[in-house]
Amino acid sequence: MEHNKIDTELQNSYNDQQKWVLDSSLDSRGEIPVRARTGAWRAALFIIAIEFSERLSYFGIATSLVVYFTTILHQDLKMAVRNANYWSGVTTLMPLLGGFVADAYLGRYATVLLATIIYLMGLILLTLSWFIPGLKPCHEEMCVEPTKAHEIAFFIAIYLISIGTGGHKPSLESFGADQFEDDHPEERKMKMSYFNWWSAGLCAGVLTAVTVIVYIEDRIGWGVAGIILTVVMATSLLIFLIGIPFYRYRAPSGSPLTPMLQVFVAAIAKRHLPHPSDTSLFHELSRNEYTKGRLLSSTNNLK
């Protein structure tokens, strides 16, 4: 009788694991996700589409940025390289801010959505600067320098793209990984395959950018290239929104940078305090409460 009860409980536990996703994720209605209707590949494909379009747009712009500065904005090579490096540096640092916002406040899904909208705004402005008369690079057939309005619009556009990249880089891939439960054997295998397909989508975006998009910029026109990048990004945003019912969401759990900074602040503020002679004054967990690993011994050699 007792064995039958245990077998029944184990079977119910197994059935629950198969039906529900029990890794603290929630579905679009704020409830525990049903495995058969959420996550895994039915959600991950929408996310890979965003990565393809983001890499397509970024490298389509970054690859020819110095050429744009020298031929369209008529900057000398030294200034063009410096401006391109400034933009590249800001774009590289932005994921630090984006990751903090995602972890501490918005969560990965909201950060990706907001970043994509900002990215799309930058691409739209970049494209409009070629077609709106007041924002065109030149009002004449031949011009020595571009209009100030075009220059301002262009720089606002590319730095909006920097902000969008800063939201995508730390959140998008992780949000895709959230769609697979680590404790479920089948989904754990799918997760390994997901990273392979993620890399394939990324490389496809880069390859298309440095071949097709760069060719269009060079032979047809920057405005046409801007239209293509804008349409692709808008389409990927639409695809991302279609996937809302299928995603698994995780609430922001706090940035790992916050406790690290708290340690530095506390260490500086308490640097003049005397070293306690009794280790109980360190306010550490007791040996019985400390279950995640072994306790480190106190030492006087690392003051």
The mean pLDDT of 283-298, rounded to a whole number, is 64
pLDDT in tens, 97-113: 998 888 888 989 999 99
Mean pLDDT of the chain: 85
The residues with which 56 forms a beta bridge, in sequence order, are none
Residue 41: which H helix or E strand, with range? helix 41-62
Asked whether residue 298 is domain-assigned, the answer is no
Q: Which residue has the higher pLDDT, 250 or 139?
A: 250
Can you give the pLDDT at residue 303? 62
Confidence label for 146 from pLDDT (cuts 50, 70 and 90)? confident
- The answer to whether residue 68 is domain-embedded is yes
Percent of the chain with pLDDT over 90: 52
Mean of pLDDT values over 235-242? 95
* Residues sharing a CB contact under 8 Å with residue 166, sequence separation 6 or more, in sequence order: 91, 93, 94, 95, 96, 97, 98, 115
Neighbouring residues of 79: CB distance < 8 A, sequence distance ≥ 6? 69
34 domain residue, yes or no: no
d(CA 206, CA 210): 6
**Structural tokens at position 280:** 């109980």
DSSP 134: G
What is the dihedral sign for C-alpha 21, 23, 25, 30?
positive
Lowest mean per-residue pLDDT among 110-119, 135-144, 182-191, 279-288: 279-288
| Residue 13 within a domain | no
Tell me the residue range of the domain where 147 lies.
41-246
pLDDT at position 294 is 63
Q: What is the pLDDT of residue 7?
A: 45
> Is the pLDDT confidence value at 75 over 70?
yes
How many C-beta neighbours within 10 Å does residue 278 have?
A: 6
Hey, is 119 helix, strand or coil? Answer: helix
What pLDDT is stored for residue 125 in this prediction? 95
User: Which residues are bridge partners to 249 per DSSP?
Assistant: 26
How many Å apart are CA 178 and CA 33, to the nearest integer? 12
| Reported confidence tier of residue 254, pLDDT bands at 50, 70, 90 | confident
- 48 residue type, one letter: I
Contact 59, 51 (CB under 8 A): no
Q: pLDDT (tens digit, 9 = 90+) per residue, 149-182?
A: 999 999 999 999 999 999 999 999 999 999 998 8
The whole-number pLDDT of residue 279 equals 65
Q: How many domains does the chain have?
A: 1
Cα torsion at 108, 109, 114, 118 (round to 10°)?
80
Q: What is the mean pLDDT of residues 237-251?
A: 93
Q: What is the DSSP letter of 211?
A: I
Residue 104 in domain? yes
Strand ranges in the chain using DSSP code E only, listed in sequence order: none
**Residue 289 corresponds to which tokens in the numbers above?**
């409460």
pTM, 2 dp: 0.81
Average pLDDT over residues 191-199: 93
Instruction: Write out the two tokens for 45.
Output: 């494909």
For residue 172, what is the domain's CATH number? Answer: 1.20.1250.20
| 96 falls within a domain | yes
Cβ contact 48:176 at 8 Å: yes
Q: Count of CB atoms within 10 A of residue 1's CB?
A: 4
The reported pLDDT for the residue numbered 1 is 54
Distance of alpha carbon 275 from alpha carbon 292, whole angstroms? 26
